[in-house]
Amino acid sequence: MTVPIFEVRDVTYSYREVTALDGLNLTIMPGQRIVLLGANGSGKSTLLSMLDGLCFPEKGSVAFQGEPLAEDRLIGEVEFAFRRRVALVFQNPDVQLFNPTVFDEVAFGPLQLHWPKEQVRLRVSEILEQMEIGNLKDRSPHHLSTGEKKRVALASVLILDPEVLLLDEPTAALDPKSESQMIDFLVSCSGGRKTVVTATHDLDLVEDVADYCHIFRRGRIVAAGTPTEILNDHALLLNTNLVHAHRHAHAPGELHSHPHRHGHRH
């Protein structure tokens, strides 16, 4: 029987007095493409941080491939191995970009793992071309556009070929061209081999990058299903603030409300 990549059981987590996750249960299997769909503040980003071992439950438990993902275990060689297998790309790429050039940024991980320098140079060149940012290799990451920064951040984790990709709002703040490029890459990168968990409130992204969706509201999963099932449930999308109902005048004196899908792009 296949062991889940992640198993989240009755997890509760709070920021001061604000509950971010409230008795959450979730199982993610190897090779799945999962979308965590919900409005801002619904708990999606907190769960991604927990799956990446950056924070830990106040109550409940998280397991990675059947082993507890706990603060007292995620040290030394155990943490080292985990970081190679699981990678998180933050919504704000500036959080994880800190090297003087794009080349240095992408080479940082392999150099920490003591790869041979020629192998590092070759692999960095390959991943930069794959992400269509080879022309940026000598530029400072902090002087790039948001879309370019996001691709650099993604390249910096993909170079280590992690088994699990955790993506927080990967298309947020992107122009249409950059968004299209990012979606194309996300569609191609899993190939049934990587487990990809994407947190978003962009409904236009769901059908392209997900096999299955979990809908978040106030730290709980309130619904789950295939992209088609979720996107066709207008009452659910309305109740979870993923669409808005607007009033329209169809004839003199007649007003009707209809739900409208929005990508909520910022």
Residue-wise pLDDT tens digits, 3-44: 999 999 999 999 988 999 999 999 999 999 999 999 888 999
Three-state secondary structure call for residue 144: coil
Question: Residue 173: what pLDDT?
Answer: 79
More confident residue, 112 or 226: 226
**177 pLDDT higher than 90:** no
**Where residue 191 falls among pLDDT bands split at 50, 70, 90?**
low
Strands 59-64, 67-68: pairing kind: antiparallel
**124 pLDDT higher than 90:** yes
Question: Residue 243: what pLDDT?
Answer: 85
**265 pLDDT higher than 70:** no
Q: How far is it, in rounded angstroms, from Cα 48 to Cα 95? A: 15
Three-state secondary structure call for residue 185: helix
**203 pLDDT higher than 50:** yes
More confident residue, 126 or 1: 126
Taking only Cα atoms into account, the Rg of the chain, rounded to an integer number of angstroms, comes to: 20
Pick from 16-20, 65-69, 158-162, 182-186: least confident: 182-186
**113 pLDDT higher than 70:** yes
Question: Residue 180: what pLDDT?
Answer: 79
Q: What is the mean pLDDT of the chain?
A: 87
pTM, entire model: 0.86
Each residue's pLDDT tens digit, 73-104: 998 889 988 988 999 999 999 999 999 999 99
Task: Tell me which DSSP letter residue 4 carries.
Answer: P
Q: Which fold has domain 6-229?
A: Rossmann fold (3.40.50)
Using CB atoms within 10 A of its CB, is residue 22 exposed (0-12), middle (13-18) or buried (19+)? middle
**Cα-based distances in Å from 244 to 107, 138, 262:** 44, 44, 8
* Count of CB atoms situated within 10 Å of the CB of 76: 8
Nearest CA to 127 among 118, 137, 138? 137
